[in-house]
Amino acid sequence: MKQEENRGNSVEVRKNNKNYRLEKKRRPTDHEDVKKLEKLITQLDDITTKSRMRDMAYHYTKRSEVIKTNLIAGAARGVGLTVGTAIIIALLFFILAQFETMPFIGEYIGNLLDIVENERN
């Protein structure tokens, strides 16, 4: 029995009663794999579309649900913006306080920090 490689498919050559026969071992082709993946993607798309439609229908038929969702989203944005701004300003003043010891810039930064401290109190 002799085995050869032919374009990525293994081919067996068998001697059988003076006749040579080629038999290809069948493997799934890339085309079949692509078709299976396309089918799965289509099914996933159908499922997500149906769930979005159900969600939209639920929200648009109940006005109280729309108001509640928008109120919660607005409050979350407001709190996030406030906390984020406070953190950025605190970091900015911390970095400015580190520059206070520099010879020329330190005086101006020290005066700025004193003004902020006086306004705070």
pLDDT in tens, 51-102: 878 777 777 778 888 889 899 999 999 999 999 999 999 999 888 888 777 7
In-domain check, residue 68: yes
Q: CA-to-CA distance for 115 and 94, rounded, in angstroms?
A: 15
Nearest to 100 by CA among 111, 84, 86, 92: 111
pLDDT at 3 (0 to 100): 47
37 part of a folded domain: yes
Examine residue 82 and state whether it is found in any structural domain, yes or no: yes
Residue 112 maps to a domain: no
Domain count, the chain: 1
Confidence label for 108 from pLDDT (cuts 50, 70 and 90): confident
The answer to whether residue 55 sits within a structural domain is: yes
Residue in the block written with tokens 């769930």: 51
In a domain? residue 63? yes
120 falls within a domain: no
Q: Say if 23 falls within a structural domain.
A: no
Domain housing 44 = 33-100
In 3D space, the residue among 17, 20, 16 whose CA is nearest the CA of residue 4 turns out to be: 20
pLDDT at 5 over 60: no
